[in-house]
Amino acid sequence: MTTHRRTVPFLFPVHQASAFMYCLGIVSLAFSYQLWQGFPTQDEYRIISRAHQAC
């Protein structure tokens, strides 16, 4: 970690929340794309499982 990052500890929960929202957005995008397609393909299953593993 850099030294100027340690002086602002309030950035850490914000960064965790943004990472969680980013992961949630990826999962919701994958699900909405799957619903729009009408049937899940193997690639979409791989993307969804990868997003869940990232969480």
Would residue 39 count as lying in a domain? yes
pLDDT given at position 38: 66
Model's pTM, two decimal places?
0.38
Would residue 7 count as lying in a domain? no
- In this prediction, residue 13 has a pLDDT band, given cuts at 50, 70 and 90, of low
Would residue 3 count as lying in a domain? no
Under 8 Å between Cβ of 30 and 48: yes
User: Rounded CA gap, 51 and 25, in Å?
Assistant: 10
pLDDT above 70 coverage of the chain, percent: 55
The three-point CA angle 41-44-45 to 5° equals: 90
Would residue 50 count as lying in a domain? yes
Would residue 36 count as lying in a domain? yes
Q: How many domains does the chain have?
A: 1
Would residue 4 count as lying in a domain? no
Which residues span the domain enclosing 29? 12-54
Would residue 33 count as lying in a domain? yes
